[in-house]
Amino acid sequence: EPKRIDIAVKGNANSLALAVRDNGKGLPTDWQKPGRFGIRGMRERARTLGGDVRVDGLETGGVRVEAALPLG
């Protein structure tokens, strides 16, 4: 139930970076539990393309998701 979502996209000829941050409730305590595939699926797709995805719970209660992908 975030009130604000910030999205930043940066890129150049070699890479693309995406960051999404919200001010919601944060991650549930069981977000890494087996059987939960949303974030795992994002990481697998990014790694298939040679990139990576990071997910962090913020001290303020929100969540930050960052993805970095090579281009070309």
Per-residue pLDDT tens for 35-44?
Answer: 666 788 888 9
Structure tokens at 64: 């930050």
CA end-to-end span of the chain: 37
Residues of the chain below pLDDT 50: none
> What pLDDT is attached to residue 66?
96
H/E stretch holding 10 reads: strand 5-11
pTM of the complete model = 0.81
Number of neighbouring beta carbons within 10 Å of residue 63: 20
> What pLDDT is attached to residue 36?
64
